[in-house]
Amino acid sequence: MTSHVDGNALAGPLSEIFLTDMTSASGRCAGCGDISPLAMAMVYTKPKAFIVRCHVCDTVLITLIQSSDRNWIDLEGLTALTIPR
């Protein structure tokens, strides 16, 4: 797999969807149960796509694909998501 950046790379793309700063949101990994801020996740970027993996066990937490008219997001690797208000 290619090199990754940290979860701060999600600030723009996820904030467009959730309308808040998602880097301070915390997620619970379906693979290992770790609860951490999304900013700690490992983010693999491709043109128009973000693959977000758990920093502990490498489970895919989030897949985000952007097109010109919609966003497709898969949260299958998260069993919970806590979003600050």
CA distance 4 to 30: 20
CA distance 52 to 27: 11
In terms of CB distance, is 15 or 35 closer to Zn ion?
A: 35
Give least dist CB 26 to Zn ion, A. 13
Do 43 and 51 touch, CB atoms closer than 8 A? yes
Do 64 and 71 touch, CB atoms closer than 8 A? yes
In terms of CB distance, is 37 or 66 closer to Zn ion?
A: 37
In terms of CB distance, is 56 or 75 closer to Zn ion?
A: 56
Q: Which residues from 26-85 bind Zn ion, rule CB under 5 A?
A: 29, 31-32, 34, 54, 56-57, 59
Contacts to Zn ion by CB under 5 A: 29, 31-32, 34, 54, 56-57, 59
